[in-house]
Structure formats: structure tokens, C-alpha cells
Amino acid sequence: MKYTSISHIEKLKANGEKFSCLTAYDATFAGVMSEVGIDMILVGDSLGNVIQGQKTTVPVTLEQMEYHIDCVSRGNQNCLIAGDMPYMSYSTPEEAYDTARRIMQAGAQMVKLEGGAWLLDTIQGLTVRGIPVCAHLGLTPQSVDALGGFKVQGRDQDTAEILLDDAKKLEAAGARMLVLECVPSELAKKVAEELVIPVMGIGAGVDVDGQVLVLHDMLGISPFQAKFVRNFMADANGDIKAAIELYHQEVKAKNFPAPQHSFD
């Protein structure tokens, strides 16, 4: 069985090709995504919102993340799996090492964590220990209370410069991938151009290297639809597998996200 590797995603970026990612939380959807050809699955702490009915991702526990990663890994055939490290499970480097061990042993091939320059020592430590890291900047859902809500980040020059500087520092520390969430398209494009590592966007425009959406959002079954979401199931006449395949095709063809799904 051949799995998509981080190196494969890096080659896609080097060749100017886009990669697709969706969240999944169970074996069945992981199997569908594998069959369709989705490049990467994120087992996100977004499960707190779409599976548990929580208002934020903060209540999600490490044990719950392990359970869902294990489920996804059983159904997966070829996608790269990244697993979120949940709220306050990586507040120190030592805590992060133990959390990452558990995430990886549950079946992930990469861990994702939210935050900027304060994570540099942690990312360096994870990297030298052989744990691939995906960083996350912009709107960081675990910090939504500190951010004052779900708001676009990096819209003024000062915060944009900080975000770009943090992105470069995270890459230098050893991060193998970066997620940008709810960031103006021009800023996201600049980050993707200046970093060697793949940059994946959610609400960050079409000029990053890959796209990720929450599964329930792109199927149009979440109670709230953000500006950056497209209802692919409506476009696929209610066929779930066709909707996932359409998403994959539209990302690869650089048709998604369109301007109406992006921020100025």
C-alpha cells in the first residue's frame, strides 16, 4: 500500500501543482477520500464543532483526537494523515513531545499545532525527534477567545508583517507545512511565494499551494457556512462521493477558491 508522503506534497509545490486536503473523522469517509484521490486528510479538532456540537475546538481532548485518528487510519488507503494537537496539549516542549507521540502512534504521519514564534523551540524539538510538523497561522481556532472571535487576520501592514515573519521563523525551525486560515489573498500569496515548504489555505485565496476544508462545511450540512466555503454537494446533485471528487478536481484545476470565497 503506497501512501502519499510529505515529500510528494513538497514535489507538487515545486512543480506548481496544487494539493487537496479535507478533514475526516471516521474510517468510511477516509476510505471515500482515498478512493477519490484526495492528497491529504486532516483529522482536525474541528470535530468538536461538527461531531460533538461544541461552540469551539477548546473542549476537544487528546483522547478524543487519538480515537478519531485511529478510526481514520483504518479506512485510509493512500492519503497523508495529519492530526491536530488539541488545546493546551503542547504548552511546553516536553508536553508537546508526549502529545505528538500519542498522535503519531494513533496513526497520523504529521502533527499540526497552532501559533507563531512562541512555538519555535517546540518545533525544533519535534523535528530533531523525527516528528513532521504542520504549523498554523492566521485565524487559530484554539485562540478564538483571545482573538475576539472568528476574524480575518493580517489585514493591516503591521499584523501582515508579523505573520510573514512568523511563517519564515516556523519554516526555519523545521516545520514541513503551514496552514493559513482566514488571511487576505495577497498576503497568503506572498507567504507561499517566500516559503519553500507547502502552504495550505482555508480562506486564504487560490495562490497558496493547497486547500483544506472541513468536510461537513463543503458538503453543506454545517449550520453555518463561512464566506470561504463552497457547497460542493449542491454542485454534485447531492452525491457525497461526487462532491468530494469535484472538490479535488476544482482544487487541482485552481478553480477553487474563487474570488467570492476569498478575502481582500
- Which residue carries 502533527 as its cell? 111
Provide the annotated active-site residues: 181
Confirm whether residue 161 is marked as ligand binding: no
pLDDT digits over 10-33, tens only?
Answer: 999 999 999 999 999 999 999 999
Confirm whether residue 114 is marked as ligand binding: yes
> Average pLDDT for residues 187-215, to the nearest whole number?
98
> Average pLDDT for residues 136-150, to the nearest whole number?
82
DSSP 102-119: HHHHTT-SEEEEE-SGGG
**Model pLDDT, residue 39:** 98
> Average pLDDT for residues 62-85, to the nearest whole number?
98
Report domain extents, the chain: 6-261
> Average pLDDT for residues 159-184, to the nearest whole number?
97
Q: Share the mean pLDDT of the chain.
A: 96
Euclidean distance between CA atoms 3 and 11, whole angstroms:
15
pLDDT digits over 205-227, tens only?
Answer: 999 999 999 999 999 999 888 99
Q: Provide the grid cell at 196.
A: 519553500
Determine contact, residues 17/208, Cβ cutoff 8 Å: no
Query: Is residue 148 over pLDDT 80?
Result: no
Least confident of 78-87, 143-152, 245-254: 143-152
Q: pTM of the entire structure? A: 0.96
Confirm whether residue 34 is marked as ligand binding: no
Q: Provide the grid cell at 209.
A: 499551494
Euclidean distance between CA atoms 71 and 84, whole angstroms:
14
> Average pLDDT for residues 60-71, to the nearest whole number?
98
Determine contact, residues 40/30, Cβ cutoff 8 Å: no
Determine contact, residues 21/63, Cβ cutoff 8 Å: no
| Domain 6-261 part of CATH 3.30.1490.190 | no
Query: Is residue 149 over pLDDT 70?
Result: no
Determine contact, residues 71/93, Cβ cutoff 8 Å: no
pLDDT digits over 27-49, tens only?
Answer: 999 999 999 999 999 999 999 99
Confirm whether residue 46 is marked as ligand binding: yes
